[in-house]
Amino acid sequence: MIERIRNQVFGQDRAIRHAVRILVRFYAGINDPKRPVGVMLFAGPTGTGKTFLAKVLGWEWIGHPEPGLGDPIIYIDCGAIKERHEVLRLKGAPPSYVGYGDKSAFEDVGEYDVKKRAPKALEDYEEFKESLVQLFGQQAIMFFELSGAMQKARENFLGRLRQKLWPVRAIIILDEFEKAAPELTDLLLGILEEGKFTLNKGMTIDFTGTLFVLTSNIASKEIQRVLDDSGRLGFKLNVKQRIARANGKSQQIWSATKRVIEQSPHFKPELLGRIGSDGIIVFDPLSEEACWRILFKELEIVEQRIDGSAGTPAALSVSYTAPFLEFLFSEGVDPKYGARNIRTIIEKFVAAPISDFAVEAKLRSGESVLLDVVFSEENGQKKAATVVRRARRKRATTPWQLREPMEADPLSTAELVDAFRSAGIPLPRPRPPMSQRGGKPIPIRRKRPDGSTPSTENPNAQEDTEFPEPKPQE
Protein backbone atom coordinates (compact mmCIF):
# COMPACT_ATOMS: atom_id res chain seq x y z
CA MET A 1 0.00 0.00 0.00
CA ILE A 2 2.85 2.38 0.79
CA GLU A 3 4.41 1.88 -2.63
CA ARG A 4 1.09 2.42 -4.42
CA ILE A 5 0.45 5.63 -2.48
CA ARG A 6 3.98 6.89 -3.20
CA ASN A 7 3.25 6.63 -6.90
CA GLN A 8 0.36 9.09 -6.47
CA VAL A 9 1.43 11.41 -3.63
CA PHE A 10 4.95 12.77 -4.10
CA GLY A 11 7.39 14.09 -1.54
CA GLN A 12 5.54 12.98 1.61
CA ASP A 13 7.09 9.61 2.48
CA ARG A 14 7.12 10.27 6.22
CA ALA A 15 3.43 11.26 6.27
CA ILE A 16 2.51 8.19 4.21
CA ARG A 17 4.32 5.85 6.61
CA HIS A 18 2.60 7.36 9.66
CA ALA A 19 -0.83 7.18 8.02
CA VAL A 20 -0.46 3.56 6.97
CA ARG A 21 0.84 2.63 10.43
CA ILE A 22 -2.61 3.34 11.89
CA LEU A 23 -4.20 0.98 9.38
CA VAL A 24 -1.67 -1.71 10.35
CA ARG A 25 -3.20 -1.77 13.84
CA PHE A 26 -6.61 -2.31 12.28
CA TYR A 27 -5.39 -5.21 10.12
CA ALA A 28 -3.56 -6.75 13.08
CA GLY A 29 -6.70 -6.53 15.24
CA ILE A 30 -4.90 -4.69 18.06
CA ASN A 31 -7.00 -1.50 17.97
CA ASP A 32 -9.92 -1.01 20.37
CA PRO A 33 -12.96 -2.73 18.76
CA LYS A 34 -15.35 -0.32 20.51
CA ARG A 35 -13.81 2.78 18.97
CA PRO A 36 -13.14 3.97 15.40
CA VAL A 37 -10.16 2.67 13.48
CA GLY A 38 -8.30 5.87 14.18
CA VAL A 39 -8.21 9.62 13.79
CA MET A 40 -5.45 11.62 12.12
CA LEU A 41 -4.75 15.34 11.81
CA PHE A 42 -3.00 16.46 8.62
CA ALA A 43 -1.35 19.89 9.03
CA GLY A 44 1.48 21.78 7.44
CA PRO A 45 2.15 24.05 4.44
CA THR A 46 -0.62 24.59 1.93
CA GLY A 47 -0.49 22.86 -1.43
CA THR A 48 1.49 19.85 -0.19
CA GLY A 49 -1.23 17.20 -0.71
CA LYS A 50 -3.01 16.86 2.64
CA THR A 51 -6.53 16.37 1.27
CA PHE A 52 -5.25 14.38 -1.70
CA LEU A 53 -3.36 11.96 0.56
CA ALA A 54 -6.53 11.40 2.60
CA LYS A 55 -8.47 10.54 -0.57
CA VAL A 56 -5.75 8.26 -1.94
CA LEU A 57 -5.56 6.51 1.43
CA GLY A 58 -9.29 5.78 1.24
CA TRP A 59 -9.11 4.57 -2.36
CA GLU A 60 -6.24 2.20 -1.60
CA TRP A 61 -7.76 0.97 1.67
CA ILE A 62 -11.39 0.47 0.59
CA GLY A 63 -11.54 0.85 -3.18
CA HIS A 64 -11.87 3.33 -6.00
CA PRO A 65 -15.24 4.88 -6.93
CA GLU A 66 -17.34 2.58 -9.08
CA PRO A 67 -20.63 3.15 -10.93
CA GLY A 68 -23.52 1.89 -8.85
CA LEU A 69 -21.43 1.71 -5.68
CA GLY A 70 -20.59 5.36 -5.18
CA ASP A 71 -17.51 6.79 -3.49
CA PRO A 72 -16.06 5.18 -0.36
CA ILE A 73 -14.98 8.59 0.92
CA ILE A 74 -17.35 10.87 2.83
CA TYR A 75 -16.06 14.42 2.32
CA ILE A 76 -17.29 17.15 4.67
CA ASP A 77 -16.25 20.74 4.02
CA CYS A 78 -15.98 22.29 7.48
CA GLY A 79 -15.88 25.77 5.96
CA ALA A 80 -19.60 25.35 5.18
CA ILE A 81 -20.61 24.53 8.79
CA LYS A 82 -19.51 27.64 10.63
CA GLU A 83 -22.80 28.02 12.51
CA ARG A 84 -24.34 25.82 15.18
CA HIS A 85 -27.48 24.97 13.21
CA GLU A 86 -25.30 23.82 10.31
CA VAL A 87 -23.56 21.34 12.62
CA LEU A 88 -26.94 19.92 13.60
CA ARG A 89 -27.52 18.98 9.96
CA LEU A 90 -24.94 16.21 10.42
CA LYS A 91 -27.21 14.75 13.07
CA GLY A 92 -30.45 15.61 11.33
CA ALA A 93 -33.29 17.94 12.24
CA PRO A 94 -35.38 16.87 15.25
CA PRO A 95 -39.01 15.79 14.77
CA SER A 96 -41.52 18.50 13.81
CA TYR A 97 -38.67 20.74 12.59
CA VAL A 98 -37.98 21.76 9.01
CA GLY A 99 -35.72 19.20 7.35
CA TYR A 100 -36.73 16.25 9.51
CA GLY A 101 -36.28 13.06 7.53
CA ASP A 102 -33.65 14.53 5.19
CA LYS A 103 -30.55 12.46 4.61
CA SER A 104 -27.64 13.17 6.92
CA ALA A 105 -24.01 13.21 5.80
CA PHE A 106 -23.24 10.31 8.14
CA GLU A 107 -25.89 7.97 6.72
CA ASP A 108 -23.61 6.81 3.90
CA VAL A 109 -21.01 5.42 6.31
CA GLY A 110 -20.25 1.87 5.23
CA GLU A 111 -22.78 1.79 2.39
CA TYR A 112 -20.05 1.50 -0.27
CA ASP A 113 -18.40 -1.36 1.62
CA VAL A 114 -21.72 -3.15 2.09
CA LYS A 115 -22.53 -2.96 -1.63
CA LYS A 116 -19.07 -4.16 -2.56
CA ARG A 117 -18.79 -7.04 -0.08
CA ALA A 118 -22.39 -8.30 -0.13
CA PRO A 119 -23.70 -8.24 -3.73
CA LYS A 120 -25.58 -11.53 -3.26
CA ALA A 121 -27.51 -10.17 -0.29
CA LEU A 122 -28.51 -7.07 -2.28
CA GLU A 123 -29.68 -9.27 -5.15
CA ASP A 124 -31.87 -11.19 -2.69
CA TYR A 125 -33.29 -7.88 -1.50
CA GLU A 126 -34.25 -6.89 -5.05
CA GLU A 127 -35.85 -10.32 -5.62
CA PHE A 128 -37.82 -9.85 -2.43
CA LYS A 129 -39.11 -6.53 -3.75
CA GLU A 130 -40.28 -8.28 -6.94
CA SER A 131 -42.14 -10.86 -4.86
CA LEU A 132 -43.85 -8.02 -2.98
CA VAL A 133 -45.00 -6.58 -6.30
CA GLN A 134 -46.56 -9.90 -7.25
CA LEU A 135 -48.19 -10.24 -3.83
CA PHE A 136 -49.59 -6.74 -3.31
CA GLY A 137 -49.56 -5.32 -6.82
CA GLN A 138 -47.65 -2.46 -8.38
CA GLN A 139 -49.98 0.20 -6.99
CA ALA A 140 -49.45 -0.91 -3.40
CA ILE A 141 -45.67 -0.92 -3.83
CA MET A 142 -45.94 2.52 -5.39
CA PHE A 143 -47.80 3.72 -2.32
CA PHE A 144 -45.12 2.23 -0.06
CA GLU A 145 -42.44 4.04 -2.01
CA LEU A 146 -44.28 7.35 -1.85
CA SER A 147 -44.81 7.02 1.90
CA GLY A 148 -41.12 6.29 2.48
CA ALA A 149 -41.72 2.75 3.71
CA MET A 150 -39.52 1.16 1.02
CA GLN A 151 -36.68 3.56 1.73
CA LYS A 152 -36.91 2.82 5.43
CA ALA A 153 -36.90 -0.91 4.69
CA ARG A 154 -33.76 -0.51 2.58
CA GLU A 155 -32.00 1.46 5.33
CA ASN A 156 -32.90 -1.22 7.87
CA PHE A 157 -31.61 -3.89 5.50
CA LEU A 158 -28.29 -2.07 5.00
CA GLY A 159 -28.04 -1.55 8.75
CA ARG A 160 -28.34 -5.29 9.36
CA LEU A 161 -25.71 -5.93 6.70
CA ARG A 162 -23.40 -3.47 8.43
CA GLN A 163 -23.76 -5.45 11.66
CA LYS A 164 -23.19 -8.75 9.86
CA LEU A 165 -20.12 -7.43 8.01
CA TRP A 166 -18.61 -5.73 11.06
CA PRO A 167 -16.39 -3.79 11.01
CA VAL A 168 -17.60 -2.04 7.84
CA ARG A 169 -14.84 0.13 6.44
CA ALA A 170 -15.31 3.83 5.68
CA ILE A 171 -13.27 7.03 5.73
CA ILE A 172 -14.53 10.51 6.65
CA ILE A 173 -12.52 13.60 5.67
CA LEU A 174 -13.19 16.74 7.70
CA ASP A 175 -11.48 19.30 5.49
CA GLU A 176 -10.26 22.58 7.04
CA PHE A 177 -11.43 21.54 10.48
CA GLU A 178 -10.42 24.83 12.14
CA LYS A 179 -13.16 26.68 10.22
CA ALA A 180 -16.03 24.65 11.72
CA ALA A 181 -18.21 25.69 14.66
CA PRO A 182 -17.09 24.54 18.14
CA GLU A 183 -20.13 22.24 18.35
CA LEU A 184 -18.54 19.99 15.73
CA THR A 185 -15.70 19.21 18.15
CA ASP A 186 -18.18 18.19 20.85
CA LEU A 187 -20.02 15.98 18.39
CA LEU A 188 -16.77 14.38 17.23
CA LEU A 189 -15.62 13.68 20.81
CA GLY A 190 -18.66 11.50 21.46
CA ILE A 191 -18.12 9.54 18.24
CA LEU A 192 -14.43 8.94 18.96
CA GLU A 193 -15.16 7.78 22.52
CA GLU A 194 -18.21 5.56 22.04
CA GLY A 195 -17.81 4.53 18.39
CA LYS A 196 -21.54 4.96 17.74
CA PHE A 197 -23.79 7.88 16.91
CA THR A 198 -27.59 8.09 16.89
CA LEU A 199 -29.35 10.37 14.42
CA ASN A 200 -32.50 12.27 15.28
CA LYS A 201 -34.55 9.92 13.11
CA GLY A 202 -33.54 7.02 15.39
CA MET A 203 -30.92 5.42 13.14
CA THR A 204 -27.68 4.39 14.90
CA ILE A 205 -24.44 4.66 12.91
CA ASP A 206 -21.59 2.31 13.84
CA PHE A 207 -18.20 4.03 13.41
CA THR A 208 -16.04 1.17 14.69
CA GLY A 209 -14.79 0.55 11.14
CA THR A 210 -14.36 4.22 10.22
CA LEU A 211 -11.15 6.20 9.84
CA PHE A 212 -11.36 9.96 10.52
CA VAL A 213 -8.96 12.36 8.80
CA LEU A 214 -8.88 16.02 9.84
CA THR A 215 -7.04 18.49 7.60
CA SER A 216 -6.06 21.96 8.76
CA ASN A 217 -4.17 25.06 7.58
CA ILE A 218 -4.34 26.69 11.00
CA ALA A 219 -0.61 27.44 11.17
CA SER A 220 -0.41 28.92 7.67
CA LYS A 221 0.70 32.38 8.90
CA GLU A 222 3.47 30.98 11.08
CA ILE A 223 4.63 28.73 8.24
CA GLN A 224 4.71 31.70 5.88
CA ARG A 225 7.01 33.51 8.30
CA VAL A 226 9.30 30.50 8.46
CA LEU A 227 9.36 30.21 4.67
CA ASP A 228 9.89 33.94 4.13
CA ASP A 229 12.92 33.74 1.83
CA SER A 230 13.50 37.24 0.57
CA GLY A 231 17.22 36.40 0.51
CA ARG A 232 20.11 38.50 1.63
CA LEU A 233 20.28 42.19 0.89
CA GLY A 234 20.81 42.74 -2.82
CA PHE A 235 20.13 39.14 -3.82
CA LYS A 236 16.99 37.46 -5.11
CA LEU A 237 16.67 33.68 -4.95
CA ASN A 238 15.19 31.74 -7.83
CA VAL A 239 12.57 29.02 -7.45
CA LYS A 240 14.99 26.10 -7.05
CA GLN A 241 17.00 27.96 -4.41
CA ARG A 242 13.87 28.83 -2.48
CA ILE A 243 12.71 25.19 -2.60
CA ALA A 244 16.08 23.99 -1.31
CA ARG A 245 15.99 26.58 1.47
CA ALA A 246 12.43 25.58 2.46
CA ASN A 247 13.37 21.89 2.64
CA GLY A 248 15.93 22.73 5.32
CA LYS A 249 13.23 24.21 7.57
CA SER A 250 11.12 21.09 8.09
CA GLN A 251 11.92 20.94 11.80
CA GLN A 252 10.98 24.61 12.29
CA ILE A 253 7.70 24.07 10.43
CA TRP A 254 6.91 21.02 12.58
CA SER A 255 7.59 22.92 15.83
CA ALA A 256 5.60 26.00 14.79
CA THR A 257 2.63 23.94 13.59
CA LYS A 258 2.44 21.83 16.73
CA ARG A 259 2.72 24.90 18.97
CA VAL A 260 -0.16 26.64 17.16
CA ILE A 261 -2.34 23.51 17.30
CA GLU A 262 -1.84 23.12 21.05
CA GLN A 263 -2.69 26.80 21.67
CA SER A 264 -5.67 26.95 19.32
CA PRO A 265 -9.20 26.90 20.82
CA HIS A 266 -10.38 24.86 17.82
CA PHE A 267 -8.39 21.83 19.00
CA LYS A 268 -9.39 21.16 22.58
CA PRO A 269 -7.15 19.07 24.84
CA GLU A 270 -9.80 16.35 24.84
CA LEU A 271 -9.62 16.10 21.05
CA LEU A 272 -5.82 16.15 20.95
CA GLY A 273 -5.78 13.42 23.58
CA ARG A 274 -7.92 11.19 21.37
CA ILE A 275 -5.79 11.95 18.32
CA GLY A 276 -2.54 11.19 20.09
CA SER A 277 0.97 12.37 19.37
CA ASP A 278 1.41 9.89 16.53
CA GLY A 279 -1.86 11.00 14.93
CA ILE A 280 -0.70 14.60 14.31
CA ILE A 281 1.10 14.45 10.95
CA VAL A 282 2.86 17.61 9.76
CA PHE A 283 3.63 17.62 6.04
CA ASP A 284 7.03 18.62 4.70
CA PRO A 285 7.61 21.29 2.04
CA LEU A 286 7.77 19.81 -1.44
CA SER A 287 11.21 19.01 -2.79
CA GLU A 288 12.35 19.90 -6.31
CA GLU A 289 11.99 16.30 -7.45
CA ALA A 290 8.44 16.09 -6.06
CA CYS A 291 7.46 19.33 -7.84
CA TRP A 292 8.78 18.01 -11.16
CA ARG A 293 6.87 14.75 -10.72
CA ILE A 294 3.66 16.67 -9.97
CA LEU A 295 4.23 18.83 -13.05
CA PHE A 296 4.71 15.81 -15.32
CA LYS A 297 1.67 14.10 -13.80
CA GLU A 298 -0.58 17.09 -14.51
CA LEU A 299 0.84 17.34 -18.03
CA GLU A 300 0.04 13.67 -18.57
CA ILE A 301 -3.56 14.27 -17.52
CA VAL A 302 -3.89 17.05 -20.11
CA GLU A 303 -2.18 14.91 -22.77
CA GLN A 304 -4.77 12.17 -22.23
CA ARG A 305 -7.46 14.69 -23.11
CA ILE A 306 -5.52 15.78 -26.21
CA ASP A 307 -4.45 12.43 -27.66
CA GLY A 308 -8.01 11.08 -27.82
CA SER A 309 -7.78 8.47 -25.04
CA ALA A 310 -10.24 10.43 -22.88
CA GLY A 311 -12.92 10.66 -25.60
CA THR A 312 -11.83 13.93 -27.20
CA PRO A 313 -12.74 14.47 -30.88
CA ALA A 314 -9.14 14.38 -32.10
CA ALA A 315 -5.77 12.76 -31.41
CA LEU A 316 -2.68 14.93 -31.12
CA SER A 317 0.84 14.22 -29.95
CA VAL A 318 2.33 16.97 -27.78
CA SER A 319 5.98 17.63 -27.00
CA TYR A 320 7.70 20.48 -25.16
CA THR A 321 10.97 22.33 -25.36
CA ALA A 322 13.27 22.48 -22.33
CA PRO A 323 12.79 26.27 -21.84
CA PHE A 324 9.02 25.76 -21.91
CA LEU A 325 9.17 23.13 -19.12
CA GLU A 326 11.45 25.35 -17.06
CA PHE A 327 8.98 28.20 -17.52
CA LEU A 328 6.05 26.04 -16.33
CA PHE A 329 8.07 24.94 -13.31
CA SER A 330 9.06 28.48 -12.31
CA GLU A 331 5.52 29.82 -12.75
CA GLY A 332 3.58 26.98 -11.15
CA VAL A 333 5.77 26.13 -8.15
CA ASP A 334 6.16 28.36 -5.10
CA PRO A 335 7.41 27.13 -1.70
CA LYS A 336 4.77 29.29 0.02
CA TYR A 337 1.85 27.81 -1.96
CA GLY A 338 3.25 24.40 -2.90
CA ALA A 339 1.99 22.85 -6.12
CA ARG A 340 -1.45 24.42 -5.97
CA ASN A 341 -0.90 26.65 -9.02
CA ILE A 342 0.55 23.99 -11.34
CA ARG A 343 -2.84 22.93 -12.68
CA THR A 344 -3.85 26.54 -13.37
CA ILE A 345 -0.60 27.30 -15.19
CA ILE A 346 -0.96 24.19 -17.38
CA GLU A 347 -4.51 25.10 -18.34
CA LYS A 348 -3.38 28.62 -19.22
CA PHE A 349 -0.19 27.89 -21.17
CA VAL A 350 -0.86 24.39 -22.55
CA ALA A 351 -4.57 23.58 -22.93
CA ALA A 352 -5.76 27.05 -23.94
CA PRO A 353 -3.20 27.71 -26.75
CA ILE A 354 -3.74 24.26 -28.26
CA SER A 355 -7.51 24.78 -28.18
CA ASP A 356 -7.23 28.17 -29.90
CA PHE A 357 -4.91 26.72 -32.52
CA ALA A 358 -7.29 23.82 -33.20
CA VAL A 359 -10.43 25.96 -33.48
CA GLU A 360 -8.70 28.17 -36.06
CA ALA A 361 -8.47 25.05 -38.30
CA LYS A 362 -4.68 25.05 -38.22
CA LEU A 363 -4.45 21.55 -36.73
CA ARG A 364 -5.54 18.16 -38.01
CA SER A 365 -6.18 15.04 -36.02
CA GLY A 366 -3.08 12.86 -35.93
CA GLU A 367 -0.54 15.68 -36.09
CA SER A 368 2.20 16.42 -33.60
CA VAL A 369 2.72 19.82 -32.02
CA LEU A 370 5.66 21.36 -30.21
CA LEU A 371 5.11 23.95 -27.47
CA ASP A 372 7.64 26.70 -26.85
CA VAL A 373 7.63 29.96 -24.91
CA VAL A 374 8.48 33.50 -26.03
CA PHE A 375 8.99 36.53 -23.80
CA SER A 376 8.13 40.15 -24.48
CA GLU A 377 8.05 43.42 -22.60
CA GLU A 378 4.93 45.52 -22.29
CA ASN A 379 4.83 48.69 -20.20
CA GLY A 380 8.05 47.67 -18.52
CA GLN A 381 6.75 44.25 -17.51
CA LYS A 382 8.00 40.94 -18.82
CA LYS A 383 5.24 38.75 -20.27
CA ALA A 384 5.30 35.21 -21.59
CA ALA A 385 3.23 33.54 -24.33
CA THR A 386 3.00 30.00 -25.67
CA VAL A 387 3.97 29.30 -29.26
CA VAL A 388 2.43 26.23 -30.91
CA ARG A 389 4.47 24.80 -33.78
CA ARG A 390 3.73 21.88 -36.04
CA ALA A 391 6.06 18.95 -35.64
CA ARG A 392 6.75 16.11 -38.03
CA ARG A 393 3.63 14.09 -38.80
CA LYS A 394 3.66 10.58 -37.37
CA ARG A 395 0.55 9.11 -38.98
CA ALA A 396 -2.22 9.84 -41.46
CA THR A 397 -4.09 12.97 -40.55
CA THR A 398 -7.80 13.73 -40.63
CA PRO A 399 -9.57 17.08 -40.24
CA TRP A 400 -10.20 18.23 -36.72
CA GLN A 401 -13.78 17.55 -35.65
CA LEU A 402 -15.22 20.06 -33.24
CA ARG A 403 -17.55 18.73 -30.61
CA GLU A 404 -21.19 19.62 -31.19
CA PRO A 405 -23.01 21.42 -28.38
CA MET A 406 -25.17 19.18 -26.23
CA GLU A 407 -28.94 19.68 -26.34
CA ALA A 408 -31.26 18.43 -23.64
CA ASP A 409 -34.00 16.12 -24.90
CA PRO A 410 -37.54 16.78 -23.59
CA LEU A 411 -38.72 14.51 -20.80
CA SER A 412 -41.17 11.79 -21.69
CA THR A 413 -44.42 11.25 -19.80
CA ALA A 414 -42.99 8.27 -17.96
CA GLU A 415 -39.94 10.29 -16.85
CA LEU A 416 -42.14 13.09 -15.60
CA VAL A 417 -44.28 10.64 -13.64
CA ASP A 418 -41.16 9.11 -12.09
CA ALA A 419 -39.89 12.57 -11.18
CA PHE A 420 -43.14 13.39 -9.34
CA ARG A 421 -43.20 10.05 -7.60
CA SER A 422 -39.60 10.32 -6.48
CA ALA A 423 -40.41 13.72 -4.98
CA GLY A 424 -43.25 12.17 -2.97
CA ILE A 425 -46.08 13.82 -4.92
CA PRO A 426 -48.94 11.37 -5.64
CA LEU A 427 -50.40 11.67 -9.12
CA PRO A 428 -54.22 11.61 -9.58
CA ARG A 429 -55.59 8.74 -11.61
CA PRO A 430 -57.17 9.88 -14.94
CA ARG A 431 -60.97 9.65 -15.06
CA PRO A 432 -62.32 7.19 -17.66
CA PRO A 433 -64.55 8.44 -20.48
CA MET A 434 -68.29 8.85 -19.92
CA SER A 435 -69.10 5.79 -22.00
CA GLN A 436 -67.05 3.56 -19.65
CA ARG A 437 -68.71 4.71 -16.44
CA GLY A 438 -71.92 2.77 -17.03
CA GLY A 439 -74.13 5.83 -16.50
CA LYS A 440 -76.12 8.17 -18.71
CA PRO A 441 -74.92 11.58 -19.79
CA ILE A 442 -75.96 14.34 -17.44
CA PRO A 443 -78.26 16.86 -19.18
CA ILE A 444 -76.95 20.37 -19.34
CA ARG A 445 -79.33 22.76 -17.61
CA ARG A 446 -79.04 26.34 -18.68
CA LYS A 447 -81.11 29.33 -17.83
CA ARG A 448 -83.70 30.51 -20.30
CA PRO A 449 -83.67 34.05 -21.61
CA ASP A 450 -86.40 35.00 -19.15
CA GLY A 451 -84.28 33.76 -16.20
CA SER A 452 -86.24 30.58 -15.46
CA THR A 453 -84.76 27.05 -15.43
CA PRO A 454 -86.04 23.96 -17.25
CA SER A 455 -88.56 21.80 -15.40
CA THR A 456 -87.25 18.79 -13.51
CA GLU A 457 -90.58 16.95 -13.35
CA ASN A 458 -89.66 14.70 -16.29
CA PRO A 459 -85.94 13.86 -16.07
CA ASN A 460 -86.03 11.89 -19.32
CA ALA A 461 -87.37 14.80 -21.32
CA GLN A 462 -84.98 16.33 -23.75
CA GLU A 463 -84.31 19.94 -23.02
CA ASP A 464 -83.26 22.38 -25.63
CA THR A 465 -79.78 23.69 -25.07
CA GLU A 466 -80.18 26.48 -27.62
CA PHE A 467 -82.69 29.24 -27.06
CA PRO A 468 -83.93 31.84 -29.55
CA GLU A 469 -82.59 35.26 -29.02
CA PRO A 470 -85.16 37.88 -27.85
CA LYS A 471 -86.69 40.09 -30.53
CA PRO A 472 -85.68 43.75 -30.41
CA GLN A 473 -88.36 46.09 -29.16
CA GLU A 474 -89.91 48.44 -31.69
pLDDT at 17: 93
pLDDT attached to residue 315: 75
pTM of the prediction? Answer: 0.75
Is the per-residue pLDDT at 365 higher than 70?
yes
The whole-number pLDDT of residue 349 equals 92
Name the band, by pLDDT with cuts 50, 70 and 90, for residue 102: confident
Rounded to an integer, the average pLDDT of 405-412 is: 62
Query: Which pLDDT value is given to residue 467?
Result: 42
> Rounded distance, CA 256 to CA 259, Å?
5
Stretch 393-421: mean pLDDT: 63
As a whole number, mean pLDDT of residues 25-35 equals 84
Instruction: Pick the more confident residue, 468 or 331.
Output: 331
Rounded percentage of the chain residues whose pLDDT exceeds 70: 77
* Rounded percentage of the chain residues whose pLDDT exceeds 90: 19
pLDDT (0 to 100) of residue 400: 64
Q: Is the pLDDT confidence value at 280 over 70?
A: yes
Query: What mean pLDDT comes out for the span 437-461?
Result: 54
Lowest mean pLDDT among 105-114, 128-137, 363-372, 446-455: 446-455
Mean of the per-residue pLDDT values for the chain? 79
- In this predicted model, what pLDDT tens digit does every residue of 62-75 receive, in sequence order? 888 888 788 889 99
pLDDT value at residue 199? 82
Look at residue 215 and tell me whether its pLDDT is greater than 90: yes
Q: What's the confidence (pLDDT) of residue 99?
A: 65
Range with the poorest average pLDDT among 24-28, 187-191, 410-414? 410-414
40 pLDDT exceeds 90? Answer: yes
pLDDT level of residue 378 (50, 70, 90 thresholds): confident
**What pLDDT, on a 0 to 100 scale, did the predictor assign at position 339?**
85
- pLDDT, tens digit, for every residue of 288-346? 899 999 999 999 988 888 877 656 666 788 889 999 999 999 888 888 888 888 989 99
Q: Which domains does the chain have, with CATH numbers?
A: 2-118+165-282 (3.40.50.300), 288-399 (1.10.8.60)
What is the arithmetic mean of pLDDT over 352-375? 82
Give pLDDT tens digits for 445-455.
555 556 565 55
